[in-house]
Structure 1
Amino acid sequence: MTLLYLVRHGQTPWTVSGQHTSYTDLDLTPQGEEQAKALRSKLDPSEFGLVLTSPRTRARHTAELAGFTDYEVTDDLQEWNYGDYEGKTSLEIREKYHPGWRLWFNGVPNGETADQVRERLSRVVRRVRESGVDKAICFGHGHASRVLALCWLDFPLIFGQAFPVEVASLSILGREKESWAVLRWNS
């Protein structure tokens, strides 16, 4: 059985402000760099047979600062495309565009649908499960990491609201006896 480690990128200017960030290619703040370096004490790159990262600078830089320099970039790990809501905060979206808006229930105009996000992150799950390695690791983003976990568990995406992912956090997915399971979340 392969264990799947999920790492969300370190802090960026927009994680501080709460702006939705998908295709905008931001780098880490100095604090985000320190968070990524702190992951070195929790992770040994030599233990991972498969290392995947989103193409975004913030994810690749987090991987590198955590000691992972030999990785494969995959578009499947990109953040949920927020379309017209890119760069906007949830509060701003609710006040100006859609009262009561929640990504998990309402989606985004001119961005990805939940089904599209599920489809590409399900490909990552299949790739990891079929890899035959003991440990795989994915460096990615907040909402995409939640969807990846839900695909691992075969849960409906609306459950994503119950799985917040902190910056520079480490989560582990695997099995508990015969069931797919979350073994650690946001450590």
Structure 2
Amino acid sequence: MKRLLLVRHGESEWNAVRRLQGQANIALSPRGRDQARALAPLIAAQQPDLVLTSDLVRAAETAHLLGYPDAEREPGLREHSVGAWTGQVIADIKAREEDNYLAWRAGTYAPPEGELWCDMRTRIGSAMMRALERTNETALLVCHGGVIRAALDYALGLEPARIIPVGPASLTILAFPDGLARLEAFNVTGSAPILDAPD
């Protein structure tokens, strides 16, 4: 049975201050590096035969800290583009346009110059299917919170409004018995789960 291990990168410097990053190329914070190291034994136990990472530095650095410095860069695993909201503090966005922010979290609104949820969902679904075709058994995809939520929407029909933010350096597992997706794990970390993770 094939499996996809979906790992969100560790806390980034902008996550730490609740600044929306989207596709901005922001590095991990010191805490994020520790989170990735803590998750490494769980990932190693799964013995992935294919390792892909988003080409953004926070994901690639997480892959390195998990023990896969040569992970293949896959631009299709990039985070949701948030357009004009890139770099803005989440509290400021919510204070200014809370309804739009909540609609964005639910996948029904795109910020100016941002990516539509349906387009991202299609992009992520295509990247997932390519990974499944290439893996013998288990593929590790080191990516982003929005990417994992889009993967769950694509594979299971779990709309983004029904999924909490994905914790930093957390593991979600999708299995594909008989080609149908099944959720085996969500938000598993090397320590206590983070249930109020930043976007």
TM-score, reference length from structure 2: 0.84
Structure 1 unaligned regions, length at least 5? none
2:117 maps to 1:133:
no
Deviation of 1:126 after TM superposition, in Å, equals 1.2
Q: Which residue of 1 aligns with 2:171?
A: 170
Contact 1:150 1:160 in 2 (8 A): no
Distance, in Å, in 2 between the alignment partners of 1:24 and 1:183 is 31
Aligned length: 184
Structure 1 residue identity aligned to 2:139: A
**What amino acid sits opposite 2:51 in the alignment?**
V
TM-score by length of 1: 0.89
User: 1:127 Cα deviation (Å)?
Assistant: 1.0
Give the distance between the partners of 2:161 and 2:67, measured in 1 at CA: 29
Deviations 1:139-183 (A, max 9, x none): 111111110222122x16x43542420000111111467742110
Unaligned stretches of 5+ residues in structure 2:
189-199
CA contact (8 A) 2:145 2:166 kept: yes
- Change in CA separation of 1:133 and 1:178 when aligned onto 2, cut-off 3 Å: closer
Q: Name 1:88's counterpart in structure 2.
A: 88
Moved over 3 A (4+): 158-161, 175-179
Give the Cα separation in 1 of the matches to 2:47 and 2:40. 12
Counterpart for residue 151 of structure 1? 154
Single out whichever of 99-108 and 120-129 deviates more from structure 2: 99-108
User: In the alignment, which residue of structure 1 is the partner of 2:60?
Assistant: 60
User: Hey, what's the Cα distance between the residues in 1 that align with 2:179 and 2:81?
Assistant: 34
Whole-angstrom distance in 2 between the partners of 1:56 and 1:72: 12
Tell me the distance in 2 between the aligned counterparts of 1:109 and 1:79.
Answer: 16
Q: Secondary structure at the residue paired with 1:67?
A: coil
Pairing 1:182–2:183 present: yes
Aligned-residue CA RMSD (Å): 2.0
Further displaced range: 25-34 or 46-55? 46-55
Query: For each residue in 1:93-136, what CA deviation from the matched residue of structure 2 results, as whole angstroms up to 9, or x when unmatched?
Result: 2322x231221222221111112201210111211232242100
How big is the shift at 1:58?
0.5
